[in-house]
Structure 1
Amino acid sequence: MVTDPHATSDSSADALVVGGGPGGLSAALYLARYNRSVLVFDTGHGRSTHHQTNHNYLGFPDGIATVGLRELGREQLARYDNIRFVHHRVTAISGDANLGFVATAQGGHAWHGRVVILATGVLDHFPHFPGWEQYVGRSMFWCITCDGYENRGRNILVVGHTDAAAGEAMQLHSLTDRVRLLTNSETIGISPRFQQRLENANIPVIHDHIRTVEGTNGVMTAVITRGNQRLELNSLFSIQGATPETGLASQLGVKLADSGWVDVDSEQKTSVQGVYAAGDVTALHSHQVTAAVHEGAQAASAANYFLYPPELKAD
């Protein structure tokens, strides 16, 4: 594997993989093992760079930090000299499967590929308060599937003002009877039906905003609201939504689902020939590392088959 932070404008590969999280790393691994050349664009951001420990990935009895999983992935990919990592943020992408694709970064750097795999992830809408980043994955979570089990019987504050937040609070209530919901919004978007469900479950709804928090080393102990309420807690679950990073997909003319995520089929193909998508940006499955790894592998396999000459294809 070659790391080239100053790649030149004539850099090219069979595949351009945009995103260095589990989906992108999995895609790069499979493509390399198909003996394809790969450029992986990784700026070191995204969900897999937070502090959380993943307990759902088979083969790690004690769980594994997502950052550690990324590091292991990079170490595994280092054995393949047909993979190059590029530490540039792709700002524009164009082309088609006939003429090839061009990815461009700020400063005019450009890279060329025959296929594209988009593993660009999402932008989570965490509540912002001084030092909020240190709590993400340690005591501030966004996924009951990932972190609910470890929070059984604990004091949980759900943050959000929609039915989705209310639903998450209800689901967490099956793990602990100490759940409260803080809207952190000017408005309350929880429907009367869900408000009644929360009331029936004795889950208080607090209509206020987070001003600051108390805690050390990423472990939150209390939230202080603008109304000067002090809400003690063990964990905060942020259910304020996420925006899929679909800007590059839109530039390529890729169809988006009604939900806003990239629309893919069961092989991770998008509506544009030669363009594939994997991981959280598709929302094909619940946002899980295991799903992203699977989707990356599937996208790479489909892309590899697409690159074969006609005489090697059965269809």
Structure 2
Amino acid sequence: MTGQRTGPAAHGTRPAGADRDAEAAGAAVLTCGGRPVARYEHRPDLPARESPRPYLHPVRTLGGTPVTELRPADHVHHLGVSVAVPDVSGTNFWGGRTFVRGRGPTELDNHGVQRHLRWSRLAEDGFTEEIAWLRDGRTLLAERRTVAARELDGTCWALDLTTELTNTCDEELSVGSPATNGRPGAGYGGFFWRPPIGPRPPEVFTADAEGEEAVHGSAAPWLAMASDAWTLVFAGGTARTRRDPWFVRAAEYPGVGSALAWERRLPLPPGQPVVRRVVTAVADGRLDRDAAARTAGRLARLTPPAPEEAPA
């Protein structure tokens, strides 16, 4: 998996010098079934106001249709698929303005940066990466991010992303959101996927609800977003992740996130990891609810039950 190599490979092992190639290119290509399905920019050149961070873009279906957007005009800090948090004890790792209680969205000089440190594993079907979350040169959080591409069938593959965040400071930190700072319903922050805008808003639904208003803020085991050209089925990969509400936008712009701090701040005690895993099926064409449910069932088989994590 490098910026130049996009051909088939066994699940495997990186060729000699491939790590150096990826480092030099600043990006790596993720393949599934021998086809390139995503580009990972691990050292992007972005303005400080956009809270620079690694991201996946473009992500494509097996048929080649793009399912991510990068720096769209409506929200230039939306970066394909990324892990973005608007408030870590006052530091903005989301980008753009910060919601301040009593003032609303406010321009502040409080943006952080996620800096790639090293690959722990690097292969054509996935990787594990070490990332430092910094503010003014000081590391607040250490992240281990694991990403894998898993083939489901000839028209569908799954992006499996796990983030493990650890407070490296001496004092307790916490994750907040515009909602915890006074903006109802805006509990975004964590895993976030920005799809492209189509000719009309995509459909969004879960097993039990349909439409943006009904699914936004729900803690459903899976959620689907479907357009005429593609369908994304998102599922929490751990019991703790499945308790996090979904942040959903469809009418204004398409976006889906798994929220870390929906109603209350999430504490980050020193040295105690917070782990979340989201597995997303990427399918060509429009799936109806029955087909999406079957796909979600296949995602569940990729993530068998495990011992419950810590309460964070």
Tell me, yes or no, whether TM beats 0.5: no
Give 1 or 2 for the bigger CA radius of gyration. Answer: 1
TM-score by length of 1: 0.28
Q: Which has the higher contact order (CA 8 A, sep 6+)?
A: 1
The structure that is strand-richer by fraction is 2
TM-score by length of 2: 0.28
